[in-house]
Amino acid sequence: MEQESPMTKEEVKHKELSISNVRQAQRKDPELQLLINYLEQLELPDDPKLSQRIVLEARQMGLDGDGILHHFWWMQRGDRRTNTRCQLVVPAALVETVMAATHDDLLAGHFREKRTIKQARQHYWWRGMFSQIKRWVATCLTCQQCNNPKGQTPGLLQSIPAASQPFQQLRVDLIGPLPQSRRGNKHILVFVDYLTKWPEAYALPDATAEAMAHVYVKQVICRHGAPEALLSNHGKQFLSEVVRHVNEYLQVHKVNTTPYHPQTDSLVERFNGTLESLLTKFRNNHQDNWDDLLPYALSAYRTSVHEATGDTPFYLLYGRDPYLPVDITSRAVKSGSATTPERHKSELVDRLRDAYAYARANQERAQQSDQRAFDHHWEQSHYYAGDKVWLRAAHLPRGKTAKLARMWKGPYRVGEVRGQLVLALQHVNNPRDQQVVSVRRVKPCQLDESLADFTQRLRNQQAEEPDDGEDIEVEAILNDRPRGEVLGWATTRESTVPYPFCSLFALFLLLFLLV
């Protein structure tokens, strides 16, 4: 008798989000059960305030044919087009499963909090979802080990005019050399469309102009048509060689190209960084399966909302949203309204016209915002004794490349702050690992700590540290978890109180009560 193979993490998540499991979990959730009872039988609890809240919330709720509760969200894409999105109402028992599916999944891509929130909001709704997703992303160990902090880049930013059509302007770039994959690939040729932000990426064994020209013709021009401008920061020689091979291959007279300045636009530089980050988070330890992950990384990027356009590259290119594994419970409510090819064509033209205008307006606003932020000097972060940080690795093992390595090691605890630029660190799990480093090599570490773990750590810290008579700041003790989450208070670092003063006040209070 054959033994069934264990399910992968993705299969477990999708099974937990099946229709039967979601329906059962919703009806076991005390808060959602009240809403379901009202929608099905018009039953309300005896508490007047609670009944009023249920009636108000039920106006944006509904049950589908399977008895699953959905939330209605009137999302707006542009000034003239409004869609109604049916979001699955997530019970408390499945919140972590949903956050894992929209952030940790291979098709989700481990994006930062803004994209993860927008991705989750396309399909799900629950109370407090924004703050919980922010916390989930901020405490993701994989992201903290891979993502670099955003810093200031020298030079002035000069933006180019926004394109008016898809694949009118293309940006080409080359990533590599990377560790040789099992298929023999060492480079990634990247194309990004300026209007829709749609990316194409192809693994190559060699970075010759002839190989890149063949990919450009067969995979880009044959699928999307020839662009009016092909832009690159590799210099005139790089473009001229590619153009020469394209002319030979297509037997055309001329292909228009535009000179490109490295600081003119950061479109492909940003995508390259995102692509490398996605591959790093899912590649194996040998770094030789990155080309197998390319389609998944591209899918995650294409179906996530781009901040510059306010929409997904997939929608801007196809005029519709894709069906993804996370849509399993909402496919019935996403069917289009067109019934004939002519009506579909008319609706598609209207949708894309509005979407392109909205994308161009958003892109222009994003360029202006980037211009202001680029020239504004950011204030350096300050670290304090007891803070936890990640340390950027100075060296890599032989055969590994920084582009696909998890460069942030740790976490470390700041033991001493020496001036404004030097920190003395000690590894949290290995006390022998002690280093003195520059602040430029560290970034803050955020860990999700339960109240029980916090209490135990506090006791251990008080037992291990000798009482030398110095004041201990309360904030230093609570550095790993915001005080508002532990005690329910809103606070700042300036509101800390020396520990001996707190003890003296407690003693006087106890004497007063006894008298």
More confident residue, 374 or 174: 174
Q: Among the ranges 58-72, 271-285, 324-338, 383-397, which has the highest mean pLDDT value?
A: 58-72
Query: Cα 442 from chain centroid?
Result: 21
Query: For position 483, what pLDDT does the model report?
Result: 32
* Helices 30-41 + 19-28 axis angle, to 10: 100
Query: For position 185, what pLDDT does the model report?
Result: 92
The answer to whether residue 154 scores a pLDDT higher than 70 is no
Tell me which residue has tokens 């990004």.
Answer: 192
CA distances 420 to 148, 437, 514, Å, are: 21, 12, 49
The CA distance from 420 to 283, in Å, is 37
Q: Where do the domains of the chain lie?
A: 19-139, 169-363, 387-395+404-459
Q: Using an 8 Å Cβ cutoff, are 426 and 438 in contact? A: no
Query: For position 140, what pLDDT does the model report?
Result: 83
Q: What is the pLDDT of residues 250-305, one digit of tens each?
A: 665 545 554 444 444 466 677 877 787 777 777 767 678 888 888 888 888 888 88
Mean pLDDT of the chain: 72
Q: According to CATH, what is the number of the domain 19-139?
A: 1.10.340.70
Q: What is the pLDDT of residues 215-255, one digit of tens each?
A: 888 999 999 988 888 877 655 556 677 777 776 676 655 45
- Mean pLDDT score, 473-494: 34
- Mean pLDDT score, 347-376: 70
Biggest alpha carbon–alpha carbon distance for the chain: 101
Query: For position 200, what pLDDT does the model report?
Result: 94
Q: Pairing mode, if any, of strands 434-438 and 442-444? A: unpaired
The topology under which CATH files domain 387-395+404-459 is SH3 type barrels. (2.30.30)
Query: Cα 461 from chain centroid?
Result: 34
The CA distance from 47 to 322, in Å, is 43
Confidence label for 191 from pLDDT (cuts 50, 70 and 90): very high
Nearest CA-CA partner of 193 in 217, 236, 226, 156: 226
Q: Which two tokens stand for residue 208?
A: 């010759």
The answer to whether residue 437 scores a pLDDT higher than 70 is yes
The topology under which CATH files domain 169-363 is Nucleotidyltransferase; domain 5 (3.30.420)
Confidence label for 202 from pLDDT (cuts 50, 70 and 90): very high
Helix/strand/coil percent split, the chain, to 5 = 45, 15, 40
Q: Which two tokens stand for residue 159?
A: 């933006």
The answer to whether residue 133 scores a pLDDT higher than 70 is yes
- At 85 the three-state DSSP class reads strand
CA distances 465 to 269, 456, 457, 460, Å, are: 47, 14, 12, 8
More confident residue, 63 or 345: 63
CA count, 13 A, side-chain hemisphere, 106: 14
